[in-house]
Amino acid sequence: MILAIVAIVVGLVLLVWSADRFVDGAVGVAQFFGMSTFLIGMIIVGFGTSAPEMVVSVLSAMNNSPQLALGNAYGSNIANIALILGTTALIAPVVVKKQAMKRDIPILISLMALTFFLVKDGNVSLIDGVILLLAFVVITAFNISMELHEKRKRKKAKQADNEEENAPAEKVSIVKSFAWLLVGLVLLIVSSRMLVWGAVYTAQALGVSDLLIGLTIVAIGTSLPELASSIAAARRGENDLAVGNVIGSNIFNTLVVVGLASVIAPIKAADPEVMSRDVPIMIALTLLLFFICIPFKKKNGKRVSGFGRIGGALFLSLYIAYLVLLGIQAV
């Protein structure tokens, strides 16, 4: 019991510290390469924090339980939008840039439609898995090429405005940034596992049911790396990083986590509730994210996309309702 409590305290402290270092590294990498923090959040932070889900997916497929990958991936996607963005918005308003509204969120919605088409019968074949993995490669290459195009445009604009004569930008150590990025990611995953283990052990010792533990501690614990990094980004005013984290993580979960599992072992006769409950909820939350972020007001003469505490409270309420639904159906 004492060891579990120590694991909770150490895990929590380490989680907060590593999240800050992880964000420092991500921002440093973005600055060094002259890329947007949104893309770094989407590719490095989003994909990196989804590493645990990928490991679970591969192991479950190798153990002849590939259907677990569906619940793992789609449950994580629901938590990413409702829990993580909801919590982030309570700390600082979530601001979504025009690029995300015009390109990235619509891409995510399209992927949700593709997911529904491929898994509506509860089966994900080898060919389906290959399609999902190829879609991931195409989308990632497309985003990187678009970012490089935008970078060239920004460079030309600076040259036209003679901005080279201005004070040089602060130098960023790429080695130090990558080191913090890697160390932060590893410690995020390790500390979250320590925290979950300690919390589960303590809850069991206090007589809390396994169902309640699964719906709360374990469900939230698998999203702790994304949650911690998004909160740290929000506190530092790096909203792009937080939004990119969620979009990138959901793309990775939808395409790679499910795709890898079905390539290793095709998914057959998945739990019907995944198709009738989790996939529709995941799609509905993604659509809600898009519509709630449609610009409706002006700030300093510019239309702003995003949402604040009211939207955050709405998403958190929906996540709590989802957990209640799981509990009712599990009884």
Q: Supply the DSSP string of 137-172, one letter for each residue.
A: HHHHHHHHHHHHHHHHHHHHHHHHTTGGGSPPPPP-
> What's the structural domain count of the chain?
1
Residue 163, in any domain of the structure? no
pLDDT of residue 210: 58
H-only helix segments in the chain = 2-33, 37-40, 46-49, 51-62, 68-78, 86-91, 98-99, 105-119, 126-160, 174-205, 210-213, 219-221, 224-235, 239-252, 258-264, 272-273, 279-292, 309-330
Lowest-pLDDT choice from 1-5, 63-67, 95-99: 63-67
Categorize the per-residue pLDDT at 91 as very low, low, confident or very high, splitting at 50, 70 and 90. Answer: confident
Residue 164, in any domain of the structure? no
The Cα–Cα gap between 269 and 279 comes to 15
pLDDT of residue 148: 77
Pick the more confident residue, 213 or 205: 205
pLDDT digits (tens, 9 = 90+) for 135-159: 999 988 888 888 777 777 767 766 6
**Cβ-proximal residues to 267 (8 Å cutoff; 6+ apart), any chain:** 66, 67, 69, 70, 119, 122, 123, 124, 258, 261
Lowest-pLDDT choice from 271-275, 307-311, 317-321: 271-275
pLDDT at 110 over 60: yes
Lowest-pLDDT choice from 110-114, 176-180, 222-226, 241-245: 222-226
Average pLDDT, the chain: 78
CA of residue 139 relative to chain centroid, distance: 16
pLDDT at 162 over 70: no
The Cα–Cα gap between 212 and 223 comes to 17
Categorize the per-residue pLDDT at 167 as very low, low, confident or very high, splitting at 50, 70 and 90. Answer: very low
pLDDT at 315 over 90: yes
pLDDT digits (tens, 9 = 90+) for 272-299: 777 788 889 999 999 999 888 887 655 5
Categorize the per-residue pLDDT at 313 as very low, low, confident or very high, splitting at 50, 70 and 90. Answer: very high
Residue 165, in any domain of the structure? no
pLDDT of residue 300: 57
Categorize the per-residue pLDDT at 38 as very low, low, confident or very high, splitting at 50, 70 and 90. Answer: confident
**Domain span at 28:** 2-156+172-330
DSSP reduced 3-state for 95: strand
pLDDT at 42 over 90: no
Pick the more confident residue, 199 or 249: 249
Residue 137, in any domain of the structure? yes
Average confidence (pLDDT) over 65-88: 83
Residue 263 tokens read as: 């390539």
pTM of the predicted model as reported, rounded to 2 decimal places: 0.79
The Cα–Cα gap between 213 and 271 comes to 21
Domain CATH for 77: 1.20.1420.30
Pick the more confident residue, 133 or 243: 133
